[in-house]
Amino acid sequence: MNQYVMKIDKSSQYLMAVLLIIPMIMLVIGVYGGLMQTLFRAGIVQSDPFMGPDYYKGLTMHGVLNAIVFTTFFAVAFGNAVIPYALKMAMNMTWAWVSGILMLFGSLMAGIMIYIGEATVLYTFYPPMKAHPLFYIGLTLLVVGSWIGFFNWIPMYLRWRKENPGRKIPLSVVGIFVTFIVWLIATSAVAFEILFMLLPWSMGLVDEINVMLARTLFWFFGHPLVYFWLLPAYVMYYSYMSELAGGKLYSDGAGRLVFYLFIIFSIPVGTHHQYMDPSIGAEWKLLHGFFTFAVTLPSLITAFTLAASLEYAGRKRGGKGLFGWMFKLPYFEKDRWLFSYLITGLIIFIFGGISGIVNASYQMNTAVHNTAWVPGHFHLTVAGPVLLAFMGMSLYLLGKYLNKEVKMKGLSLSVPYIWMIGVFIFSWGMMRGGLIGMPRRTNTGPTYANPDSVLFQPEWISYIDISVVGGVIMTLSILIYAVVFFATVFSKKREGEPELTFPVSEAYHNEEVSWLRNFKPWIIVAIILIVIAYTPVILDVLGSTYGGSPRFDPNNPIPY
C-alpha cells in the first residue's frame, strides 16, 4: 500500500526530539532504580551510589519516572505525530511547545523534589504522608501540559470533520482522542485532590486532610491511568501492526467499538483498588467489580481481532494448517523491526491480562492485594506491551523526525525478546512470592530476607532471588536499547528533508457503523456511569470517616 508522506518542519522536528530524548533519559534512570530495588530486596546492596540508602526514595523515583513521566511524554509525542499525519493538517506549534515545556518543567520539579528527599511518598502520594508542595505542583504542571497538548488537536479534528463530511475519522485519530478523553476525565479528579486538598494542606494553609477521600479520588484517576498507558499501544496494534506483518486489520469496526467502550468503562471501576479499604460499602465495591469485568470485554475483542489479523498475514505469507500461520510472521526481520516490539508485547499481555482478571475478582483480591503479586502483574502490562510499544515507536519516530537511519537494527531486534524473557522471570518470582504473603513496596533486605533478623522469612528467599535474575536481564535489554537509541541520535543525517510515514493498515472488513462515528454519546454515557458508580462511594466515605489527619514526614511518627 502506498502510504501518505508528510513533510516535517524544523519546529516539529526539535519539539519531537525533546519529547522523545528527555523521557528516554528518565526511563533509563528509572530502570536503574528498578534494578537497584531488586538488589536491595535481596540484601545484596544496602545503599545506592546515586540515590543513597533510602529504598523508598528510589522506589518513588522508579514509579514516577517510569509510570508517569515517560508514559505521559510519549503519549503526547505520539499524538503530535499521529494527529497531523492522519488528518493531513499542520499543527499549531506554539501551543505544542507550551505543552512540551510545561511537561518538562513539571517533571523536573517533581524529580528534583524526589531526589533531594522531599517527596518520598511513592507515586501514589497517599496522605497523610506529606511531600513538598513543589512535588505536587510539578505533577500538576505535567498533567496540565498534557491537557494543552490534547486541546491543541481538537480544532484540527473539528476542521477535518467540517471539511470531510460523511467520511470516517481515521482509526488512529479515534484511538488518540479516546486516550486523551479518558485522561482528561480521570485527571480532573486527581487535579481536584491536589489543588483543593493536598496542596493547601502541604503548604500549611489547612491543618487536616480526609485521607479516605483523597485515596478514593486518587483511584478515580489511578485505574483509568492504566488505560491511558495502554491505549497508545492499542493504536499501534490496530493501525500499524497488521501492515507491518504484511496483512490487513481484520475489522475496522471492531477497533472503533473497542476504543469507544474504553470511554465508558475505564473510569467507574476505580474502587477495585480499594476492595480492602474501610469506609466503602461492599455492594459498591461489587458494582465497581462488575464494571471492571465489562472493561475486559474490549480487551477480549482486541485479542480476537489482532489474532485474526495476524492469522491473515501469516496465511498470506504461506502459513498452512490451523497454527502454521503463527510461524510465518516476521518475528526476526530487520527491516520490520517494529513488529517484534509489538508482538512480544502482545504475548506478555496475555499473562498481564489473566493476572489482572485475578486482581479484579472481588474476594480473590484478598489473596493478592498489596503483595508482591501486584508488581509482578503490572510489569506484565505497563512494563510489557506498553513499554515495548512505546520504545519501538520512540525509535521509529526518532528516525523519521531527525531524518536518520535507525542504527544497529539487528541489535534493536533483540531488545524486546530479551525483555520478554527477563520480565517473565522477574514477574514469576514476584507473583509466586506474593502468593505466599510477600508484601509489595517493602525493602525486604534488612529484615525478611536477612537470616540474622527475627523477622527472617526463609520461604521468600528463592522468589526474591528469582526477581533479581529477571531484573538483571531486563536491565540488559534496556542497556542495549539505549545504545541503539543514542547511536541513532548521534548518527549522520540522511540525504533530503525529514518526512513522516506510518505503516497504516488497510481493513479486511471495513464496515460502516453509524453509531461508531461520534464521541459525544459515549462521553455522556461515561458521565452517567461515573455518577452512578461514584456517588454512593463518596457518600460512604464522607459518612464514615471521623476527622482529618495532620501532616506526617515518612521518617517521623510525630506529626507536624
Told to check if 51 binds ligand HEM by CB under 6 A, we report no
Which C-beta is closer to ligand HEM: that of 181 or that of 382?
382
Residue nearest to ligand HEM (CB): 34
Q: Using CA atoms, how far apart are residues 70 and 494, in angstroms rounded to an integer?
A: 28
Three-state DSSP class for residue 251:
strand
Question: By the 8 A CB rule, do 359 and 374 touch?
Answer: yes
Which C-beta is closer to ligand HEM: that of 157 or that of 275?
275
Which residue in the set 61, 387, 484, 504 belongs to the binding site for ligand HEM (CB under 6 A)? 387
Q: Which residue has the cell 504475548?
A: 347
Residue nearest to Cu ion (CB): 223
Which C-beta is closer to Cu ion: that of 4 or that of 126?
126
Helix pair angle (93-115, 10-41), 10° resolution: 20
Touching ligand HEM, residues 56-115 (CB under 6 A): 59, 62-63, 66-67
Give the nearest distance from C-beta 468 to ligand HEM in angstroms.
8
Which C-beta is closer to other proteins: that of 91 or that of 121?
121
Give the nearest distance from C-beta 46 to Cu ion in angstroms.
19
Told to check if 371 binds ligand HEM by CB under 6 A, we report no
Q: Using CA atoms, how far apart are residues 56 and 482, in angstroms rounded to an integer?
A: 26
Q: Which residues are catalytic?
A: 223, 227, 377-379, 440-441
Residue 37 touches which member of ligand HEM, other proteins, Cu ion, none, C-beta under 5-8 Å by kind:
ligand HEM
Residue 545 touches which member of ligand HEM, other proteins, Cu ion, none, C-beta under 5-8 Å by kind:
other proteins
Smallest Cα–Cα separation from 235: which of 222, 221, 249, 225?
Answer: 249
Q: Using CA atoms, how far apart are residues 491 and 471, in angstroms rounded to an integer?
A: 30
Residue 223 touches which member of ligand HEM, Cu ion, other proteins, none, C-beta under 5-8 Å by kind:
Cu ion
What the block records as the C-alpha cell of 383 is 512494563
Give the nearest distance from C-beta 317 to other proteins in angstroms.
20
Touching ligand HEM, residues 410-449 (CB under 6 A): 440-442
Question: By the 8 A CB rule, do 330 and 314 touch?
Answer: no
Told to check if 395 binds ligand HEM by CB under 6 A, we report no
Give the nearest distance from C-beta 232 to other proteins in angstroms.
23
Give the number of residues in contact with Cu ion, rule: CB under 5 A. Answer: 1
Which residue in the set 6, 15, 35, 217 belongs to the binding site for ligand HEM (CB under 6 A)? 35
Sign of CA dihedral 37, 43, 48, 51: positive
Give the contacts of 61 (CB within 8 A, at least 6 positions apart). Answer: 29, 30, 33, 51, 111, 114, 115
Which residue in the set 132, 223, 328, 432 belongs to the binding site for Cu ion (CB under 5 A)? 223
Which spans in 361-438 are helix H? 365-368, 373-378, 387-402, 409-435
Residue 275 touches which member of ligand HEM, Cu ion, other proteins, none, C-beta under 5-8 Å by kind:
other proteins
Which C-beta is closer to ligand HEM: that of 51 or that of 91?
51
Q: Using CA atoms, how far apart are residues 339 and 244, in angstroms rounded to an integer?
A: 6
Paired residues of 507 in beta bridges:
249
Which C-beta is closer to ligand HEM: that of 313 or that of 360?
360
Told to check if 474 binds ligand HEM by CB under 6 A, we report yes
Question: By the 8 A CB rule, do 466 and 431 touch?
Answer: no
Give the nearest distance from C-beta 355 to Cu ion in angstroms.
12
Give the nearest distance from C-beta 228 to other proteins in angstroms.
23
Give the contacts of 292 (CB within 8 A, at least 6 positions apart). Answer: 269, 272, 360
What the block records as the C-alpha cell of 171 is 482509526
In order, the DSSP letters of 500-545 are E---PPPEEE----GGGS-SHHHHHHHHHHHHHHHHHHHHHHHHT-
Q: Which residues bind Cu ion (CB under 5 A)?
A: 223
> Which residues lie near ligand HEM (CB under 6 A)?
31, 34-35, 37-38, 59, 62-63, 66-67, 122-123, 375, 379, 382-383, 387, 440-442, 471, 474-475, 478
